[in-house]
Amino acid sequence: MVPDSVVVTVEKPSNFSLPKVNDSDSSLFPDKEKAVSPKQFTWVLLLKAHRVLTSLSWLAMASRAIFVSVKKRIALSDLSEEEPKSRGRLYRFIKAFLLISILALVLEVVAHFKKWNLQMIQSREVQGLVQSIYMAWLSFRTNYIAPFVIFLSKFCVVLFLIQSLDRLVLCLGCFWIKYKKLKPTIEGEIYDIEDSSSFPMVLVQIPMCNEREVYAQSIAAACELDWPRDRILIQVLDDSDDGNLQLLIKDEVSFWHEKGINIVYRHRLIRTGYKAGNLKSAMACDYVKDYEFVTIFDADFQPNPDFLKLTIPHFKGNPELGLVQARWSFVNKDENLLTRLQNVNLCFHFEVEQQVNGVFLNFFGFNGTAGVWRIKALEESGGWLERTTVEDMDIAVRAHLNGWKFIFLNDVKVLCELPESYEAYKKQQHRWHSGPMQLFRLCLPAILTSKISMWKKANLIFLFFLLRKLILPFYSFTLFCIILPLTMFIPETELPIWVICYVPIFMSLLNILPSPKSFPFLVPYLLFENTMSVTKFNAMISGLFQLGSAYEWVVTKKTGRSSESDLLAFAERESKSLGEEKILRRHSESGLELLSKLKEQEVPAVKKRNKLFRKELALAFLLLTASARSLLSAHGVHFYFLLFQGLSFLVVGLDLIGEQLS
């Protein structure tokens, strides 16, 4: 008998898994696996080997090219002028520091590979002379060197933060000026164009010394100033010691005098006091008493024709105003990396420092050129003095102590040149940073006894002189070029990352804001500023302690790169006045070629060579030694900073930045 129904019971499993169909390692589909053939494996190895060999060959060729360039630069470099300076105390200190660092690095390398550990070694377990020396070094480092370095690093970090706060406040002040659209305004009516007698008498001075490349363009720019001819006198103050050049300048002056320009040529037989002595001699002329204002332009400055009409009206109705300073604009700011980095610095100086101090304090340091002085302010402040190499800052401080106010015009720009070679830039910076310390020593008693307010006294002493002229070069050199390498060999004193990375980058970002096109050069700017700290520190010390190089004055080399555009513009104006057609560019170029040939015939070409700067080279090897020690300890950011900072010192020390000579 067949049953009516069958009961089937199926147990449902609690856990079950599905096979991974997409898994290439699944064994469910062994027939779909792709086996790698020995031939394919060989090709992969060959491809990787080819990439490695290509990279190695590229590195070898690059290293060889760099080595050949460095060898050639060392062989052809001129050490004659750098030699005396390299014998100074600072250079000897850096060399001694470098030698000690190399010895310490050797010990650390031996200890690293032998895996020595002070905590695991007892005095009775010391084996060998090297291990004994290493333990003695660790003990001496911990007990004597580390406490002093810790104190010095904390002191420099505090100075660094104070200076950074000052820089931040200046930037906030600049933002406030932009937000509120604050700018100097002209009080009263502008001069009557139809009545030339309503214009004040203006004296224009062009001090120069052996300025063969730029004398013609500076004289031409001054002679084309838009001002009544009977109310202006141009003084060409020539201190050149080259007889041929003196004749050329005289001919240029005669050319403009024949055109009806009121211009005179003055030459001193004895060049005492440099630029200050030149200006002082010119102001002693009897006819100066007939003039109310004096405008000063260095030999490479080319004001626009409307310069006087944009600056002098600010004096009208403002009897307390002693100085109107215009901004500099650079014709060669994109010439090379050195000029680009200088442009960053000077844009911040004018747009932020000068403008903020002018708006909120009515005081700033006179820039020595592109400014208009009330002659009464100069006379009441004592006139030009020859006691320092920064005669412009000297007269500005004395005028401020006598109650005169200053105005900075950020919208009025005057074309000029930047130094294109590192040698010229270094000499300029040495003068700019040694002079303020000379002046501080001389002016401190006068500041303390002056009748200005306590706030203005504090601003002059603590902000204008100490913080921005003394503390800035001191901490930047000490912290980033001395203490930071030391911390690699003294782990107890290691600097935090925010000191060497975050805050400097933020400060560099603030510095670069006034020149936004320079943002790609943020890191090079940071490294270059630290590199220049050795020059600024050395100059500051020489000025503060009245060392021999403090009174060194070297005229900054000019190239006259703006001559072509000026010559073309002048030729166009001349052709228009004569009813001729517009001169084509090729005519200007041919004229420049002829002019250059004549100059080459007049002056025999002197073959100049790039130099080696020994202090920078010694610091380069010191920082690279510290970076090698940092690599052993895997410091990370410290290693990269030391490496790139050392390379930047090496580039500068070999004079590979800026204009390259034969």
Told to judge if 226 belongs to the known catalytic residues of this protein, a careful annotator would answer no
Q: Please, where are the H alpha helices in 8-127? A: 38-76, 82-86, 89-114
CA atoms within 13 A on the CB side of 137: 18
For the beta carbon of residue 280, count every other beta carbon within 10 angstroms.
Answer: 16
Give the distance from CA 398 to its chain's centroid: 27
Cα torsion through 16, 19, 20, 23, rounded to 10 = 140
Give the pair of three-digit tokens for residue 239: 């201190």
Catalytic residue among 238, 239, 394, 566: 239
Return the percent helix, strand and coil in the chain, to nearest 5.
65, 10, 30
How far is residue 64's CA from residue 305's CA, in Å, rounded to a whole number? Answer: 53
Q: Coil, strand, or helix at residue 194?
A: coil
Q: Do 432 and 542 contact (CB within 8 A), yes or no?
A: no
Terminus-to-terminus CA distance in the chain, angstroms? 120
CA distance 418 to 202: 28
Element (DSSP H or E) covering residue 585:
helix 585-602
Pure H helices in 329-374: 337-348, 355-361
Please state, as a whole number, how many other Cβ atoms lie within 10 Å of the Cβ of residue 585. Answer: 10
How far apart CA 470 and CA 485 sit, in angstroms, is 22
Q: Which run of H or of E encompasses 252?
A: helix 243-258
C-alpha span between 524 and 530 (Å, rounded): 10
- The secondary structure of 278-294, three-state, reads HHHHHHCCHHHHHCCEE
Contacts of 223 (CB under 8 A, 6+ apart): 234, 256, 259, 261, 263
Q: Kindly name the residue from 392, 394, 566, 655 that is annotated as catalytic.
A: 392
* Distance from C-alpha of 503 to C-alpha of 23, rounded to nearest angstrom: 51
> What is the edge-to-edge ordering of all strands in the sheet holding 202-208?
263-267, 232-238, 202-208, 293-296, 371-374, 321-330, 405-416
3-state secondary structure of 404: coil
Residue type, 591: G
Closest CA to 398 of 311, 514, 276, 573: 276
Long-range CB pairs of 170-174 (<8 Å, 24+ gap) are 170/352, 170/353, 170/356, 171/352, 171/510, 171/513, 173/352, 173/356, 173/359, 173/360, 174/351, 174/352, 174/355, 174/356, 174/514
In the residue annotation, 239 being an active-site residue is answered as yes
Torsion on CA atoms 573, 578, 579, 583, rounded to nearest 10: -50
Partnered with residue 3 across adjacent β-strands are: none
525 touches 538 (CB < 8 A): no
Tokens of 127: 């084996």
Decide: residue 251, CB within 10 A, 0-12 exposed, 13-18 middle, 19+ buried.
Answer: exposed
Cα→Cα distances 498→157, 462, 468, 510, Å: 11, 26, 22, 16
* Residues labelled as active-site residues: 239, 392
